[in-house]
Chains A and B, each alone.
Chain A
């Protein structure tokens, strides 16, 4: 029997049972749609975050923080804290190592900035402006005002999202504004607010990402010496190390040297390593979500098998007729498989399309709903709120969905089809 005739025979059988075939197809549609939607959203999210990271990233830097933690935050994720702390003048030790160009200590606390126009939560970052501007020359740049390289103590540099939090030209802080910086000293008994009055010298241009160690839109920057006295500390949260180049060998050797110098009590993270880790985390998330979605496809597959077996029993007599007319067992098998391939193909196509549509709808709702609470620092929530996540449907996911949809249909149809092909004509004809 010619392939085209097998196809049209199968198709006529599907058409005959419209409702049943429709529901079977729906099962595949839902399974495939779930897989495609989840994978393309995750892929989109990964792309967005990677791009944002790279924006605020300098590949020739390392970030040193105390403990075994990953991101040098306020200690929350630093793991077991041995009491070791990084000091501001530890930069001298690091500067003495080979292949290190310079290093910058950073003190940061969560606090408030307040003026007559309003008040915002922000990460207060104390840093040496001249060195910071040197390392992050493309992101630590003023949009309005100027960043003084040897700042007086009252100087404040404000991130774009602190100054213009809603992206609607309602600007809270402008250069030359007098502002109050407030920080709650939790170690004092009783805790009390520390306040000082400063002047905004510059508003940074929008960074867009949330760079690790680099400038962020939701931070405000004060001089390191002011931070020392304001926060009453000589400890720092991070030391950013600028290397002579961004080669892997350099990154590895300096990382090792720093760890050894601090007796392995510090964690050293390179920007590239963070990117790699993030992308492997995303691979796991994708696999996990894809796996969950695959379960629904598995259920759809069992549905197909169920329908095929019912259909087989209903059509036992028909199979008997076909065999009496001289249809080979192999052809009967192909007829049944062809039916499920058609169901799988249609289901996979509709499923991919609706999964893609679903991903776009979900991405839009996410953005409308205020975004993600992502951030390397607690105060950085909202950094992504303005960011559109564009779902990405890679050719691999598209083809994979098609192949998977058809594959599941075929696998679950194999047994019923095989059974049909093995029916004895005389038994099949006698079947009532």
Chain B
């Protein structure tokens, strides 16, 4: 069964008073272990699609199935539970500034109710995986963009998600540190078989993926396998 199965997704929202057709019928299947990169110009509907896959938003038309479950049948609490099994990585990291790297990773496990000792141990392991064990007691402001993004990736992995969703993960990082993030993402997919769906402008990062989807004007216009 596909991890993500989007069937003829449409999404219309109002920009002021003007209706915008952000998605105009998108079909997408993501299998376990996939590494999908979505490319396209601004306004082509990449982020809207990502929000729908991440059940942060609901489609206007069409069906969104996560592991076979139609998300339109779920209530708010069930959607929240589902969100706990999806790892989000944002362009602007979205770490909590007052928490250290370790506390940020722990937070997502605290939300699911894991006890303190366990989540501490797991946070340390995850930060070791992303190569930040030495810096885990630093706050985001004391970390470089690349390091912050690696903390965010560690946080996204904390609850053993079904898949990772990444919104331009290298979009806000200088190219030097970006390469660390790129190789980390590649390694997660290669070695740990983590399923990844990612929106990016970064050609180098897209080149690492297994499948590239080209979006234009609310539709997937081209599909290529690397």
- Assign chain B's interface to a size class: 20 to 34
Instruction: Decide yes or no whether A327 CB sits under 8 A from chain B.
Output: yes
Which residues of the other chain, A, contact B115 by a CB distance below 8 angstroms? 2
Pairwise interchain contact A321-B113, C-beta atoms closer than 8 A: no
The reply to whether A326 and B96 form a contact with Cβ atoms under 8 Å apart is no
Contact A326–B108 (Cβ < 8 Å): yes
Interface pair B108/A325, CB less than 8 Å apart: yes
Looking at chain A's contact residues, the main secondary structure is helix
Nearest CB in chain B: distance from A202 CB, A: 79
A228-243 interface (Cβ within 8 A of B): none
Do B88 and A324 touch (CB < 8 A)?
A: yes
Known A-B contacts A324-B88, A326-B84; the reply to A2 vs B110 at CB < 8 A is: yes
Could you give, for residues 207-235 of chain A, a 1 whenever the CB lies within 8 Å of some chain B CB and a 0 otherwise? 00000000000000000000000000000
If the complex has contacts A323-B80, A324-B56, A326-B80, are A426 and B112 also in contact, measured as CB distance less than 8 A? no
> B190 at the A/B interface (Cβ < 8 Å)?
no
B159 interfacial contact with A, CB 8 Å: yes
Question: Which residues of A sit under 8 angstroms from B98, Cβ to Cβ?
Answer: 12-13, 15-16
CA distance A265 to B69 in the complex (A): 91
Among A12, A15, A16, A325, which residue has its beta carbon within 8 angstroms of that of B88? Answer: A325
Name the contact of B111 in the complex, choosing from A15, A329, A331, A424 (C-beta under 8 A): A331
Chain B, residue nearest A321 (CB)? B94
Interface string of A89-112 (1 = CB under 8 A from B): 000000000000000000000000
CA distance A316 to B56 in the complex (A): 15
Contact, CB under 8 Å: A429 / B113: no
How far apart are the CA atoms of A322 and B110 in the complex, in Å? 11
How many Å from the CB of A7 to the closest CB on chain B?
A: 11
Contact with B along A326-342 (1 / 0, CB 8 A): 11110100000000000
Give per-residue flags for A409-432: 1 if the beta carbon is below 8 A from chain B beta carbons, else 0: 000000000000000111001000
How far, in whole Å, are A326 and B54 apart by their CA atoms in the complex?
11
Determine how close the nearest CB of chain A comes to the CB of B141; give it in whole angstroms.
Answer: 13
* Complex contacts, A164 vs chain B, CB 8 Å: none
B118 proximity list for chain A (CB < 8 A): none
Number of interface residues of A (CB under 8 A): 25
The one of B57, B90, B112 in contact with A326, judged by C-beta atoms closer than 8 angstroms, is B112
Residues in B whose Cβ lies below 8 Å from that of A317: 94
Q: Mark B97-124, 1 if CB is under 8 A from A, else 0.
A: 0110000000110111101000000000
CB-defined contacts of B81 to chain A, threshold 8 Å: 326
Is the pair A426, B51 in contact by a Cβ cutoff of 8 Å? yes
Q: Is the CB of B96 within 8 A of A318?
A: yes
- B54–A321 contact, CB under 8 A? no
- Measured between beta carbons, the chain A residues less than 8 angstroms from B135 are none
Chain A residues contacting B54 (CB-CB under 8 Å) are: 324
Over the window 290-320 of chain A, the binary record of Cβ atoms lying under 8 Å from chain B Cβ atoms (1 yes, 0 no) is 0000000000000000000000000001101
A326's closest neighbor in chain B, by CB? Answer: B84
Inter-chain CA distance A12–B98, complex, in Å, is 8
A322–B111 CB distance below 8 A: yes
Residues in B with CB closer than 8 Å to A331 are 111
Known: A324-B88, A325-B107, A426-B51. A1 touches B56 (CB 8 A): no
Contacts of A169 in B (CB 8 A): none
Does A5 lie at the interface of the complex (its beta carbon under 8 Å from any beta carbon of B)? yes
Query: What are the residues of chain B within 8 A of A326 when measuring CB–CB?
Result: 80-81, 83-84, 108, 111-112, 159
Bound state CA distance, A317 and B95, in angstroms?
Answer: 10
B191, CB-defined interface residue at 8 Å: no
Asked if B83 and A12 make an inter-chain contact with CB atoms under 8 angstroms apart, the answer reads no
Closest Cβ neighbor of B114 among chain A residues: A2
Quick check: is B226 within 8 A (CB to CB) of the other chain?
no
B134 at the binding interface (Cβ < 8 Å): no
Question: What is the distance, in angstroms, from A198's C-beta to the closest C-beta of chain B?
Answer: 84
5 A-B Cβ contacts within 8 A?
A317-B94, A323-B80, A323-B83, A331-B111, A426-B57
Which 8 interchain pairs have the tightest Cβ spacing? A326-B84, A426-B56, A325-B108, A5-B110, A426-B57, A326-B83, A425-B56, A321-B94
8 A-B pairs besides A1-B111, A2-B110, A325-B84 with CB distance below 8 A are A1-B112, A318-B96, A323-B80, A324-B54, A324-B83, A328-B80, A426-B57, A429-B90
Chain B residues with a Cβ under 8 A of chain A:
51, 54, 56-57, 76-77, 80-81, 83-84, 88, 90, 94, 96, 98-99, 107-108, 110-113, 115, 155, 159
